[in-house]
Amino acid sequence: MQLKSIINSDMYALLDCNNFFVSCERTLDSKLDNQPVVVLSNNDGCVVSRSNEAKAIGIPMGAPAFKYKDLFAEHNVKVFSAKFELYNFYSQQVMKIASEYVMKHEVYSIDELFLDFHGFQYFDLEQYCVNIKNEIKTQLKGLPVSIGIAPTKTLCKIANHIVKKETDKYASGVYLMDSKEKIEEALKNLDIGNVWGIGRRLSAKMKDNGVYKAWDLLQKPEMWVRKIMGIHGVRMINELKGIPQLELDSPSSKKSIMVSRSFMKMITNKEEIAERIETFAIYCAEKLRKQNSCCKVISVFIQTNRFRKELGEYKDGFSIVLPNPSSSSIVLAKYAHSIFEAIYKEGFYYKKAGVMVSDFVPDNERLINLFEKDVDSKHIPIMKAIDQLNSKYGKDKIRLGGMSGNNTYGRAILSPEYEEFLKNNILPEANYRFH
């Protein structure tokens, strides 16, 4: 196995926000520092973010909140509903600050960002990244991030993992993996299941074949790797050797937009579900207009609680091809409602519903059906006015009559102060799915 010689100018970095949702909560209340804190998922169902203190008392990721109530009470764990709007705001601010330090970057997830340091041979990369980290901390009320620097994106993931695991050793929050010796040491200590791209099932298969550490994988013949993992495995091997295979990706345009929710409580009232469906369609329309697109197809689904089979099971969905491509909230809400009427059945306890729009075209390239009336042209001025007012005064300040205005996430553990904040929320809309 031959590791590539490292050239300081050929580096990437992975910036990762530490315990991101919890860290955002701590920017609102410094009393939460050094306290066990958890943030719950949509509908306050499961733990999706934990402070280090919460991890230490044995609260696992994805823990059902109702099963851990006693443990929360015993250790005075602070429990919060997810504040998606706030997390989106901090995510965008982190990305904005960090991206100003480089020519190229890739937003990998809501709390992860790859930075391209190719051509930075005259920079002290470790100190340069410490400066990025410190600026984020200063500007964003102490929000902590970790940065791993290495010659490939896969090794960046590993370097970042090391920073978070060995906080005492790397107190700066930055680790530069810039030599063969550092890479070899890291791979020999890294469990194969922690390698980026190795899932649980593949990890078990690896261990059955004597591959327990990342280093063990490099000792296997390429033919074996190709047989087990295909070309993806060969690329991974090269990445681990320090030979870049994965370049930074530009954001790809969305091929579909989905808005779906699990309801906080099961719903039997038809009008209540219909209101949710229409609201989801309106949110899809808003997202379409934000990216200057129209959709040709709209789909709706509803389903019962799969964990309460004794109440009866039912799920159904249907799609409609629109007469003309549309981004009108009025049009999409109307068709979503008509689909709902077709698939709804009385007598069931509904737990989840959603709306998806797909088959996009740019809004300036709409081809109009000669035999169908084009109502979008009449709605465009109205939609623009609604979007502008909501952008200025807060989400859903101006809304269609079919919308209740209630939040669709089902969050019970929000403070009165944050509820007031939501009413006046003018933050940029999230580019990420939170559930």
Mean of pLDDT values over 142-152: 96
Mean of pLDDT values over 146-163: 96
pLDDT value at residue 114: 97
pLDDT value at residue 308: 87
- Decide if 218 contacts 187 (C-beta within 8 A): yes
408 or 254, greater pLDDT: 254
Instruction: Tell me the per-residue pLDDT of 62-113, one tens digit each, with 9 for 90 and over.
Output: 999 999 999 999 999 999 988 887 898 899 999 999 999 999 999 999 999 9
Mean of pLDDT values over 29-40: 94
Give the amino acid at 86: L
pLDDT value at residue 256: 86
- Spatial separation of the C-alpha atoms in residues 382 and 429, rounded to whole Å: 20
Give residue 115's pLDDT band: very low, low, confident or very high (50, 70, 90).
very high
- Spatial separation of the C-alpha atoms in residues 178 and 159, rounded to whole Å: 10
pTM strictly above 0.85: no
The residue extents of the domains of the chain are 1-252, 256-382
Which residue matches tokens 């909501």?
A: 390
**Low-confidence winner among 264-273, 296-305, 373-382 (lowest mean pLDDT):** 373-382
pLDDT value at residue 248: 85
- Spatial separation of the C-alpha atoms in residues 367 and 388, rounded to whole Å: 26
Q: What is the mean pLDDT of the chain?
A: 88
385 or 270, greater pLDDT: 270
Instruction: Tell me the per-residue pLDDT of 299-316, one tens digit each, with 9 for 90 and over.
Output: 999 999 888 889 999 999
pLDDT value at residue 82: 87
- Spatial separation of the C-alpha atoms in residues 387 and 393, rounded to whole Å: 10
pLDDT value at residue 432: 44
| SS3 of the chain | CCCCCCCCCCCEEEEEECCHHHHHHHHHCHHHCCCCEEEECHHHCEEEEECHHHHHCCCCCCCEHHHHHHHHHHCCCEEEECCHHHHHHHHHHHHHHHHCCCCCEEEEECCEEEEECCCCCCCCHHHHHHHHHHHHHHHCCCCCEEEEEECCHHHHHHHHHHHHHCCCCCCCCEEECCCHHHHHHHHHHCEHHHCCCCCHHHHHHHHHCCCCEHHHHHCCCHHHHHHHHCHHHHHHHHHHHCCCCCCCCCCCCCCEEEEEEEEEEEECCHHHHHHHHHHHHHHHHHHHHHCCEEEEEEEEEEEECCCCHHHCCCEEEEEEEEEEEECCHHHHHHHHHHHHHHHCCCCCCEEEEEEEEEEEEEHHHCCCCCCCCCCHHHHHHHHHHHHHHHHHHCCCCCCCCCCCCCCCCCCCCCCHHHHHHHHCCCCCCCCCCCC
- Across the strands, what pairs with 361? 294
Compute CA distances 57 → 35, 74, 82, 154, whole Å.
Answer: 11, 10, 21, 31
pLDDT value at residue 152: 95
- Decide if 6 contacts 180 (C-beta within 8 A): yes
- Decide if 150 contacts 156 (C-beta within 8 A): yes
- Spatial separation of the C-alpha atoms in residues 363 and 383, rounded to whole Å: 13
- Across the strands, what pairs with 115? 13, 105
Indicate the Cα dihedral angle 139, 144, 148, 154, nearest 10°: -110
Mean of pLDDT values over 270-283: 93
Q: How far apart are the first and last CA of the chain?
A: 41
pLDDT value at residue 154: 95
What are the residues whose beta carbons fall under 8 Å from the beta carbon of 217, sequence distance 6 or more? 192, 195, 206, 211, 225, 236, 237, 240
Q: At what angle do helices 329-343 and 376-393 cross, to 10 degrees?
A: 100
pLDDT value at residue 431: 47
Q: State what percent of residues in the chain have pLDDT above 90.
A: 64
The backbone torsions φ and ψ at residue 246, rounded to the nearest 5 degrees and listed phi first, read -115, 115
Here the tokens at position 415 are 């403070």
Which residue matches tokens 């969905």?
A: 317
432 or 356, greater pLDDT: 356
For residue 152, which of 204, 187, 192 has the smallest C-alpha distance? 187
CATH of region 1-252, choose from 3.30.450.40, 3.20.20.70, 3.30.70.270, 1.10.3720.10: 3.30.70.270
- Spatial separation of the C-alpha atoms in residues 290 and 292, rounded to whole Å: 6
pLDDT value at residue 346: 94
CA-based Rg of the chain, rounded to a whole angstrom? Answer: 25
pLDDT value at residue 419: 60
Compute CA distances 26 → 32, 47, 380, 413, whole Å.
Answer: 6, 17, 41, 15
Instruction: Tell me the per-residue pLDDT of 358-374, one tens digit each, with 9 for 90 and over.
Output: 999 998 888 877 777 78
CATH of region 256-382, choose from 3.40.50.2000, 3.40.50.360, 3.40.228.10, 3.30.1490.100: 3.30.1490.100
pLDDT value at residue 434: 41
Q: State what percent of residues in the chain have pLDDT above 70.
A: 89
Give residue 1's pLDDT band: very low, low, confident or very high (50, 70, 90).
low
